[in-house]
Structure 1
Amino acid sequence: MHVTDETVEYGEDEGHADLASPPETPPVRQGNREERREATLRALAAGQDAWCAYCGRSLPPLPSRGGRPTPYCAADPDRYGRWGAKVISCAMLDEQREIWLTVYGPDQPMTRIDTQVLDERLGALLGTLDPVRAEIAALQQQASTETAAALTAKAEAEQARQQAQEGAAAAAAERDRALAEAEGAREQAEADRAARDGARQAAEQAEREREQALHDRRAAREERDRAEADRQRALDQAATAQDRIAELQTTLAGERATTLERIDQLRREEEQERGRLRVSLDEEYQQRLRTRTAELDEQLRTAQVAADQRINELTSRLTEATQNYANALSPLHERIAALDRELAERSTAEAALTGRLEELHAAVTEALAEPDEDDDETLRRRVAAALETPRQQPSG
């Protein structure tokens, strides 16, 4: 089905940064773009009410001074917003719609169908469907008749099924009674069979016990025979062992006597050998002792001579060293004596100087203690006289 009047929803401006408000819903328009433009321009030229060729809004009349008429609303950035540097207008949207329809065709999910044209075409389609409706009504009547007949047949079949179920129930009851009787007979047979099996098992158990008793008696008899044989064998072994022990004791007594005699002989031989060895060792020891004593005496004499020579040599060296030490100490003693004399002289001079200092100090103190009747010259003469007096005392 081809529809010529559609409305395109332009969604390319959704989410754009320059849009001031959400896009409006495009209205449904009649005819194509050229027809709408011509109708609007004719209305404007005739001074009649004109509507926008895109959105259908009322357009203002042409001004009295004239001007170029436009079939669209004036560009308003607050209405659709902007697309980059351009203001989105009805003229731009109508042109974009026409481009969309030219490229992709009119039957697009984004287009809206004109409901009036759709109603007309749907009316035509419904007119062609009237014979189909009549045929469907006839078919429905026939289906109703056949349904009633089917329901009647179903009721009869249901009654027959009920009768069959009753007969089946009676047969099932008879079967259950027969099964119960058969079950009782089977249980009785099983009880008889169980009693017979028990009797047979008891007989078999008694037979097994009798055979086991016979086997145990034979085993006991064999065990007794083996014990008798073992006892006799043990007695024989004990007698043999007693004979062997007596023989061994006799042999041991003879060997003990022989051994004692041999031990006595070996002891005597040992004493003799030890005496000979002691004599030989004493002689060898005395010989070696004399030899060693001679060697030690010779070594002692040699060591004594060497020691005497060493002592004489050391004595000579000590005497020489003592003489050299005395010779070396003589100048030192002389120097020490000279130093002692010099020290005594200096001590005497120090004592004289100390006395002189005390006398000078007393004279100066005495001169300063006298009444200040003279001038400084007189004081100087007195001090000079006090200083000269000690110099004249040694000479006097």
Structure 2
Amino acid sequence: MRALAAGEQAYCAYCGSPLPPLPPKGGRPTAYCPADADRYGTWGAKTITCAMLDEHREIWVTVYGADQPMTELDVHALDERLTAARTVLDPVRAELTALHNHVTGELAAALSARRVAEEQRDGAVAAAEAARAERDHAAAEAERAREQAADARERQSAAEKQAGEALAERDQALAARDAANREAEAAHADRQRALDQAAAAQQRIAELQDTLAGERAAALERLDQLRRDEEQARVELRTTLTEQWEQRLATQAEQFTRRQHEIQTVADQRITDLTEQLTRSTEHYAASLAPLHDQLATLRREVAERSSAAANAADQLAQLRHDLGRLIDTATAEGTDPTTHPATDDGALRQRLRALLDAGAERSDTP
């Protein structure tokens, strides 16, 4: 439809036949061939068209699937489409054949030209290799000539340098000879001067040795005297120190003895005082304990007497409680009071009396 709208050749979407162009007045483009009753016939009042057949084919494929046998109509339509396609493709095939032949000829010519060009290139490469070899040979010859010239220049420079060095060595030898002569003369003068100095030094050494021997003898004598003086001073110092030390020890021993005697006296006096104080304290303690012992003995006797009296009273009370209880029980059993009083409140009175007796018994049993 886009091709048809653009004015290009379009084909039917069902049968593939060329579609007629749009009329000049315009209209709605369609993708199918126009209705033609002579082509497919009619179905009832409707003309069978490509659009109807395409729609029914889509319905058939949707309902029954694509794998269905082709009908005679489908085969006829396919045959028509193949014929139309073959009609369209035959000119294209002829044009492709002509194009293939043309391309084949052009390719053969290109291959031939390429072969000729490669042969020419190989010849040019060989010529270039030969020229390069000749150039390398010429360069090598020039390099050898250059090296020979450089060697000749170096040998000439070395010869000139050796000649200059020989002249310099000769001048140095002459200068060294003159210097050696001068040094020999100076050495002779130095030797004579050294001999004179050695003789003077020998004389000075002899004088110094004599002086040193005298000073050494005096020093030895002085050293002996100093040693004797030192020994005497050491003996005197030892004697003095010994006497002072013995005197000091005697003084300290006397002081220690006197101090010990004083301390012993003070200690004895303190012991005596403490002994007397302890004796007095003991006597006072014994005197103060005597009344307490008497009072304690009296209290013990009183406690014993009261304990005995309490025991007797408890026995009597128990006996009395027993007798009274038995009497009350007897009176209760007979229904009369021992005092022959009326028995209007006898029950309550007996109960109170019994409770009082029990309470008294509990208090008496409690220590």
Same fold (TM over 0.5): no
- TM-score by length of structure 2 reads 0.43
Larger helix proportion of the pair: 2
- TM-score by length of structure 1 reads 0.40
Give the number of the structure with larger relative contact order, counting CA–CA contacts within 8 Å between residues 6 or more apart: 1
